[in-house]
Amino acid sequence: MLVIFDCDGVLVDSEPIANASFSKALKPHGIDWSVEETMRRLMGRSLKSCVEICEAEIGAKLPDDFVEKMQVVTYQGFRDAPLQAIAGVKDAALALQAAGIETCVASSGALEKMRFTLGLTGLWDFFEGRIFSASQVKRGKPFPDLFLHAAISMNVQPFDCVVVEDSVPGVEAARSAGMRALAYAAAPYADRDGLGAAGGFLFNDMRQLPELVLE
Ligand SMILES: [Mg+2]
C-alpha cells in the first residue's frame, strides 16, 4: 500500500501565509479578494492554473514578473512565521512507515517550493526521493495525472493507494485516479461540504491517520 500526501495544508501549514500573499499581490491588479476568498478560488491548484483563473477574472494578463515578486513575499512569510508542519503529521508518517506502508508526496507546487517548505519544517529528509510535483505531468489537479504518476513511480497499483488531501481539486484528482481520498478538514478555512461531495472521507486529526489508512 502507498499513502500519497499532498503538501500544502497536509504536511505544512502554508495555506494561510501563501494566500495572504496572493490576496495582497492581486489588489493592485483589480482583484479585491479576501484571504478566505482567495483560498476558496485557488487552493489546491498549480500556480500556473491560479494565474490563469486570475487573468480570466480581470480579463487581462498579469505582469510577467507577478509570480516572481509574489513568491519573494510568500517565502519571506514562510521564514518569518515560521512555517510549521501540520500538527501530528510527522508522527503519523513515521507510524505508517513502521507499519510497512510506503509514503510519498504529490503536490501542485513546484519542487523548489517543496524543498523550501518541507526543508523548513524538517520533512524534506523523510520524503526525499519520493516527492512528485505537478510540473512533472501534463495536467495538474483536479486531473488524476499527478497521483497516477506517483503510483507508477512508486510501483504501486492505483487501487492500492490512499491520498491525503485538504482541497477539493485534490480530492477530485484522487477519486479520478481510482484512489481512496482522506480529506484533512481541521483548518478553519476547510471546505468540508465540497470535500465530502467530491468523495473525500473527512477527518480532523492527523493522529487518526494510521488507523484510517489501515481500515
Ligand atoms: Mg493542499
Domains in the chain: boundaries: 2-13+83-214, 15-80
Residue 40 pLDDT exceeds 90: yes
pLDDT tens digits for range 70-113: 999 999 999 999 999 999 999 999 999 999 999 999 999 999 99
Please give the class, per CATH, of domain 15-80. Answer: mainly alpha
Give residue 60's Cα distance to chain centre: 27
- CA dihedral sign, ordered 115, 120, 123, 125: positive
- Are 106 and 147 within 8 A, CB to CB? yes
For range 43-54, the mean pLDDT: 94
Q: Which three cell numbers stand for residue 89?
A: 503529521
pLDDT of 31 > 90? The answer is yes
Q: What is the DSSP letter of 6?
A: P
CA of 183 to the centre of ligand 1 (A): 10
Ligand 1 centre to CA of 106 (Å) is 10
Q: Which residues are in the CB-under-5-Å shell of ion ligand 1? A: 6, 8-9, 166-167
Ligand 1 centre distance from Cα of residue 124 (Å)? 17
Q: What angle do CA 18, 150, 211 make, to 5 degrees?
A: 80
User: Average pLDDT, stretch 33-52?
Assistant: 95
CA of 134 to the centre of ligand 1 (A): 12
pLDDT in tens, 155-193: 999 999 999 999 999 999 999 999 999 999 999 999 999
**Helix, strand, coil percent content, the chain, rounded in steps of 5:** 55, 15, 35
pLDDT over 90 for what percent of the chain? 99
**Ligand 1 centre from 72 Cα, in Å?**
20
For ligand 1, the distance from its centroid to the CA atom of residue 170, given in whole angstroms, is: 7
- pLDDT higher than threshold 90 for residue 143: yes
CA atoms of 7 and 35, how far apart (whole Å) = 19
Which residues of the chain form beta strands (DSSP E)? 2-5, 102-107, 131-133, 161-165, 180-184, 201-203
pLDDT at 28: 97
Q: How far apart are CA 89 and CA 138, in angstroms?
A: 29
Q: What is the pLDDT of residue 215?
A: 83
Instruction: Give the angle 71-74-76 at the CA atoms, nearest 5°.
Output: 110
Q: What is the pTM of this model?
A: 0.96
From CA 10, how far away is CA 6, in angstroms rounded?
A: 6
Q: What is the mean pLDDT of the chain?
A: 97
Give the mean model confidence (pLDDT) for residues 16-45: 96
Q: Rounded to the nearest whole angstrom, what is the distance from the C-alpha of residue 166 to the centroid of ligand 1? A: 5
Q: What is the pLDDT of residues 187-213, one digit of tens each?
A: 999 999 999 999 999 999 999 999 999
Q: Specify the CATH number of the domain 2-13+83-214.
A: 3.40.50.1000
Indicate the pLDDT class of residue 116, thresholds 50, 70 and 90: very high
- What is the C-alpha separation between 165 and 174, in angstroms, rounded? 9
